[in-house]
Amino acid sequence: MSHSPQPPVAAQRRTSDETRGRPLLHRGFIAAGGMLLVAALATDYAYYATALWQWANFSAWLIAAGLIVMLVAVIVLAIDFATGRAARLNAGSFTLVAAATLLALINALVHSRDAWTSVIPQGIFLSAVSTILLLIAAVRGWSIATSRATAERA
């Protein structure tokens, strides 16, 4: 009676790790930055409804913070690619998030004006369009890259 040799435990662990895949790190940062930019639409609307100048300040701060977090997301996305977590860019989601971030950058420049002209009409419009793009990206899962495990299964 012959017994088939069992593979070493380390080899078993490595194959289970490879099949499970490592999670993409950039998703959480994109979601956090996106939600800060979406919150800017809410504070733009609050300023439009009340004309209290502090809401315009909140909008400018939220947009600046959202852009900083989106920059961190780009750095983490590069880390995802460098460590082999990400296989390829998801062109549709990448385009949505990139367009929303570019609009938010323009919106940050618009919000640098005095209170009323920083929000009405360009600021609230840019915030709304950026929000729509980010909500579509959210429905798609906040991922602008395909994970290595998903790409290998396909």
Query: Considering the domain boundaries, does residue 57 fall inside one?
Result: yes
Query: Considering the domain boundaries, does residue 80 fall inside one?
Result: yes
28 backbone φψ class: left, alpha, beta (φ>0; ψ -120 to 50): alpha
Q: How many folded domains does the chain comprise? A: 1
Per-residue tokens: 122: 């360009």
Query: Considering the domain boundaries, does residue 63 fall inside one?
Result: yes
Residue reference for tokens 């602008």? 144
Query: Which range marks the domain in which residue 138 is found?
Result: 25-153
CA–CA distances in Å: residue 91 to residues 37, 82, 83: 21, 19, 20
21 backbone φψ class: left, alpha, beta (φ>0; ψ -120 to 50): left
Query: Considering the domain boundaries, does residue 59 fall inside one?
Result: yes
Query: Considering the domain boundaries, does residue 19 fall inside one?
Result: no
Buried b (16+ CB within 10 A) or exposed e, 109-146: ebbeeebeebbeebbbebbebbbebbeebbeeebbbbb
Nearest to 95, CA basis, from 38, 140, 29: 140
Please state the rounded mean pLDDT for residues 3-19: 53
Query: Considering the domain boundaries, does residue 1 fall inside one?
Result: no
* pLDDT for the residue numbered 150: 64
pLDDT tens digits, residue range 12-68?
Answer: 554 444 545 678 889 999 999 999 999 999 999 999 999 999 999 999 999 999 999
Query: Considering the domain boundaries, does residue 15 fall inside one?
Result: no
Q: What global pTM score does this model have?
A: 0.80
